[in-house]
């Protein structure tokens, strides 16, 4: 009994650390995006991640599982949505807006996934879940509009916020496609192969962006940021998160995602000296409450 409690405690600690690591990706992304092009940054992140992910896949499956013909197109779509478009918008957005603000907008991902899943797959939403959607979306609007929602209707929302919202839509598409793909492939295989697809897709625009010419000019802090995004934010975060799902279930594990925007806002304040405004605090609390109710 004591050993079971100890193992569960370790899982909870790993999930909490995962949320903090994912919060840190916004800080690292902000640092990298200042001087590294969005295509180059995204390619380097996933080129690094693919090495580790394929190794983990091989160890977990004792091989690299073959892909059936019917799985090729879905895996390509996964790579182009969750890796290619998501990360290009991620780095474009973080070049313009604060890391804390971006993290709160992206934190509304689970809510939009639930909403689209309800519409496309006829998954039922309870009254509490619907209330969670309203609260979370309202919180995101508070953050996007900096506390003045009327600005949205005036068209005064910045390009950075638009890019980050495109991240949300890319992840929604990736998640919904993943529901179909993971009926035949495990989560680790799906993520590994879609990451390879995304990295290959990113290599061409990264080359045209000048990654070869600029490669030797990246600073140490930029390389550290890329390594953090690739290993800690992508590989380690993914492995620990799915360990949590396997040990305590998806519902309980997913609640730790609520700590991501909170950790990102706090880390941005301490490491990047980004201001914590009242609209950011209120929006963060609303998004976290909405995600909790929706799940």
For the whole model, what pTM was predicted? 0.87
Q: Which residues contact 252 (CB under 8 A, 6 or more apart)?
A: 244
d(CA 74, CA 276): 41
pLDDT of residue 183: 74
Given a cut of 70, whether residue 42 has pLDDT beyond it is: yes
User: Minimal CA–CA distance to 268: which of 56, 103, 91, 76?
Assistant: 103
pLDDT of residue 145: 78
pLDDT of residue 168: 92
Q: What is the mean pLDDT of residues 167-188?
A: 84
Q: What is the mean pLDDT of residues 228-249?
A: 88
Q: Which residues contact 227 (CB under 8 A, 6 or more apart)?
A: 48
User: Any idea what DSSP says for residue 155?
Assistant: T
pLDDT of residue 198: 96
User: Minimal CA–CA distance to 111: which of 88, 143, 140?
Assistant: 140
pLDDT of residue 206: 97
- Burial degree of 137 (CB within 10 A; 0-12, 13-18, 19+): middle
pLDDT, tens only, 132-177? 888 888 888 888 777 877 766 565 578 998 999 999 999 989 888 8
């Amino acid at each position: 009994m004591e050993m079971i409690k100890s193992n569960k405690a370790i899982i909870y600690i790993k999930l909490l650390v995962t949320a903090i690591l994912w919060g840190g990706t916004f800080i690292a992304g902000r640092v990298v995006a200042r001087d590294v092009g969005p295509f180059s940054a995204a390619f380097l992140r996933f080129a690094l991640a693919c090495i580790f992910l394929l190794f983990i896949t091989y160890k977990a499956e004792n091989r690299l599982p073959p892909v059936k013909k019917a799985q090729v197109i879905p895996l390509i779509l996964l790579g182009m949505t969750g890796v290619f478009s998501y990360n290009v918008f991620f780095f474009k957005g973080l070049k313009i807006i604060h890391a804390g603000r971006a993290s709160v907008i992206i934190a509304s991902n689970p809510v939009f996934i639930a909403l689209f899943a309800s519409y496309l797959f006829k998954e039922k939403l309870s009254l509490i879940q619907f209330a969670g959607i309203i609260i979370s979306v309202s919180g995101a609007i508070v953050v996007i509009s900096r506390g003045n929602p009327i600005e949205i209707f005036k068209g005064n929302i910045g390009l950075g916020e638009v890019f980050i919202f495109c991240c949300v839509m890319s992840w929604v598409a990736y998640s919904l496609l993943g529901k179909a793909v993971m009926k035949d492939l495990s989560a680790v295989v799906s993520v590994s192969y879609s990451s390879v697809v995304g990295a290959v897709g990113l290599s061409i625009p990264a080359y045209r962006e000048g990654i070869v010419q600029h490669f030797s000019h990246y600073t140490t802090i930029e390389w550290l940021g890329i390594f953090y995004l690739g290993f800690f934010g992508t590989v380690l975060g993914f492995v620990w998160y799915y360990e949590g799902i396997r040990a305590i279930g998806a519902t309980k594990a997913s609640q730790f995602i609520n700590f991501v925007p909170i950790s990102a806002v706090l880390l941005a304040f301490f490491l990047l000296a980004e201001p914590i405004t009242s609209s950011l605090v209120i929006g963060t609390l609303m998004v976290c409450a909405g995600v909790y109710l929706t799940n």
